[in-house]
Amino acid sequence: MAFLVRLFCALLAGGFLAGAAQAQTGFDRRGGDYLKFEIRSGDPAECAQRCERDGRCQAWAFSYPRSEKAYAQCWLKNKVLPRFEDKCCVSGVRGAGIIEPRKGPVETAIDRVGGDYRNFETLSDSTGAACIAACGGDNKCRAWTYVRPGYNGASARCYLKDKITQPRAKPCCVSGVVR
């Protein structure tokens, strides 16, 4: 029994179990695919739910759309493989909910609708770095929203806002507030 406890602690400390126990934004799981399909809503929760309903599914990976004409993709997997950091994706194992990063001023999977006074096309970087910089350098800016490519046009867009609006859960977006 002591051996099993030590083994469990070693696996947990090494991140093996911690990574397998939850779904996270910014990670992909490569290999083990047996089914690939489009997610027209662009919501990774739909991919996770599909895995829950399929008896063969042990893990899944979701990729955000990369252009306006493309849809998000979901891969169901017949085994649990290690996760790899990749900002394109969300992945998890069967039975795990989606956990969006909540540290710092960046609000992942949040849209702040309204209050726009300026918007511009920006590079696709999934973190909203250009929005953060633009808002930080403009005294009028109170909040911002970065929209991933494929959700509101072929390119990524940044919306600067002169007022702070209510956050709404949407997989398309990354937002933040300047206090």
pLDDT digits (tens, 9 = 90+) for 86-109: 888 889 998 876 666 555 678 888
Over pLDDT 70: what percentage of the chain?
82
pLDDT of 7 higher than 90: no
The better pLDDT of the pair 37, 105 is held by 37
Tokens of 81: 């493989």
117: left (phi over 0), alpha (psi -120 to 50) or beta: alpha
Domain segments of the chain: what residues? Answer: 17-99, 106-177
- 138 pLDDT exceeds 90? yes
Cβ–Cβ < 8 Å for 118, 176: no
What six digits make up the tokens of 49?
Answer: 């739910």
Domain at 17-99: CATH code: 3.50.4.10
Give me the mean pLDDT over the 100-123 stretch: 84
Q: Quick check: 131 pLDDT over 90?
A: yes
CATH placement of domain 106-177: 3.50.4.10
**CATH fold match for the domains 17-99 and 106-177:** yes
pLDDT for 11 equals 34
When pLDDT is cut at 50, 70 and 90, the band that residue 37 belongs to is very high
**Which residues are bridge partners to 152 per DSSP?**
none
Tokens of 110: 């949040």
Mean of the per-residue pLDDT values for the chain? 81
Strands in 56-115 per DSSP E: 59-63, 72-77, 83-93, 98-99, 106-112
Question: What's the pLDDT at 17?
Answer: 39
Edge-to-edge strands, sheet with 59-63: 33-39, 72-77, 59-63, 83-93, 23-29, 98-99
Total Cβ atoms within 10 A of residue 74: 22
- Torsion sign (Cα): 153, 45, 133, 176: positive
More confident call, 4 vs 63: 63
